[in-house]
């Protein structure tokens, strides 16, 4: 065997190993990340240490039979969070509405409130498509069968989750009063961004204002900033889903800069947290250098 042939075989073996790892191991290698966001609160929360703890989950893409993901979600119920935020793409297939809501139920045990904004995959089922399309432009308008979104929302409400549709609310938590706002997924071509006034909580005596959106398009983030929100929470990007060491995400599937496609960053003076999510499109069961993740955000003054 020539040197060139041996090199080709070696490269092929490495490539196959990476595919096997991303398909069989990493996509099920869930983790919880704890992240501090100093300066996020307007005033101390009514907790022992003055912090507000927000459990952020996103992009479950759950289909029936994914017991490994359901078990991980159940394990998060032991955390000491004050609020749960789920930023969309919770469904992974038709008929998954009940199992998805049931999987999220443990997170609101003990009367802890939950907030939801929906993603496009909570409205339409995914369809197969070439991964190369993500390198050309955001894949807006490529959707499958209509899902039973109303059933999902109704069942989530049974477990203490409020789904936000272009609105602002003030919630009175044990940890303090917080302002929240959220709207439908800007990744859907039919979505019209709400007026700033619709997303501005009316009570100023709050600990923090949280702005929620599924896909962190810059125009969507701008609306939340202009509505006065201190912390912006989003999903959608999967953290890139495939990241290269030293380079990071290759795609974000929106116009957010790639270096902000995962985790915490600053956007116009506000904290932005983009969850890498816990799942993946059923037609792309692969992650590399981007483990599925839930995040416990600790907000402080």
Q: What is the pLDDT of residue 143?
A: 76
Q: In CATH terms, is domain 3-299 a member of 3.60.21.10? A: yes
DSSP character string of 100-150: HHHHHGGGGGGG--EEE---GGGTB------GGGGGTS--TT---SBP-HH
Q: What is the pLDDT of residue 128?
A: 86
Q: Which residue has the tokens 């006034």?
A: 197
Q: What is the pLDDT of residue 3?
A: 58
Q: What is the pLDDT of residue 24?
A: 84
Q: What is the pLDDT of residue 279?
A: 98
Token pair listed for 136: 């050309």
Q: What is the pLDDT of residue 142?
A: 65
Going residue by residue through the chain (301 aa), what tens digit of pLDDT does each one get?
A: 665 555 444 456 545 657 778 888 999 999 999 999 999 999 999 999 999 999 999 999 999 999 999 999 999 999 999 999 999 999 999 999 999 999 999 999 999 999 999 999 999 999 987 776 776 667 776 678 999 999 999 999 999 999 999 999 999 999 999 999 999 999 999 999 999 999 999 887 999 999 999 999 999 999 999 999 999 999 999 999 999 998 999 999 999 999 999 999 999 999 999 999 999 999 999 999 999 999 999 999 9
Strand order in the sheet with 114-116: 31-37, 293-299, 52-57, 83-86, 114-116, 161-163
**Residue 179's beta-bridge partner residues?**
170, 209
Q: What is the pLDDT of residue 139?
A: 73
Token pair listed for 37: 């966001």
Token pair listed for 1: 């065997």
Please state the pTM of the whole predicted model.
Answer: 0.93
State the burial class of residue 58 (Cβ atoms within 10 Å of its Cβ: 0-12, 13-18, 19+): buried
Q: What is the pLDDT of residue 138?
A: 79
Q: What is the pLDDT of residue 204?
A: 74
């Amino acid at each position: 065997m020539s040197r060139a042939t041996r090199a080709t075989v070696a490269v092929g073996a490495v490539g196959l190993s990476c595919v096997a790892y991303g398909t069989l191991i990493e996509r099920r290698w869930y983790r919880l990340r704890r992240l501090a966001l100093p300066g996020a609160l307007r005033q101390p929360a009514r907790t022992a240490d003055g912090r507000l703890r927000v459990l952020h989950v996103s992009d479950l893409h759950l289909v029936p039979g994914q017991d490994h993901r359901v078990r991980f979600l159940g394990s998060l119920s032991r955390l000491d969070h004050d609020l749960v935020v789920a930023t969309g793409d919770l469904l992974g297939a038709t008929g998954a509405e009940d199992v998805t809501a049931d999987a999220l139920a443990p997170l609101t045990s003990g009367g802890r409130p939950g907030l939801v904004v929906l993603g496009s995959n909570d409205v339409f089922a995914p369809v197969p498509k070439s991964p190369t399309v993500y390198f050309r432009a955001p894949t807006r308008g490529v959707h499958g069968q209509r899902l039973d979104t109303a059933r999902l929302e109704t069942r989530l409400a049974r477990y203490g989750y409020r789904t936000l549709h272009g609105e602002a609310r003030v919630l009175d938590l044990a940890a303090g009063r917080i302002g929240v706002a959220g709207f439908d997924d800007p990744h859907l071509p039919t979505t019209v961004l709400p007026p700033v006034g619709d997303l501005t909580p009316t009570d100023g005596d709050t600990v923090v204002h949280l702005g929620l959106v599924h896909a962190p398009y810059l125009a969507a983030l701008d609306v939340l900033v202009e509505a006065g929100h201190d912390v912006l929470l989003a999903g959608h990007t999967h953290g890139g889903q495939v990241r290269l060491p030293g380079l990071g995400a290759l795609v974000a599937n929106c116009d957010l800069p790639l270096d902000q496609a995962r985790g915490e960053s600053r956007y116009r003076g506000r904290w932005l947290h983009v969850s890498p999510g816990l799942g993946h499109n059923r037609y792309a069961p692969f992650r590399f250098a981007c483990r599925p993740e839930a995040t416990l955000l600790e907000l402080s003054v």
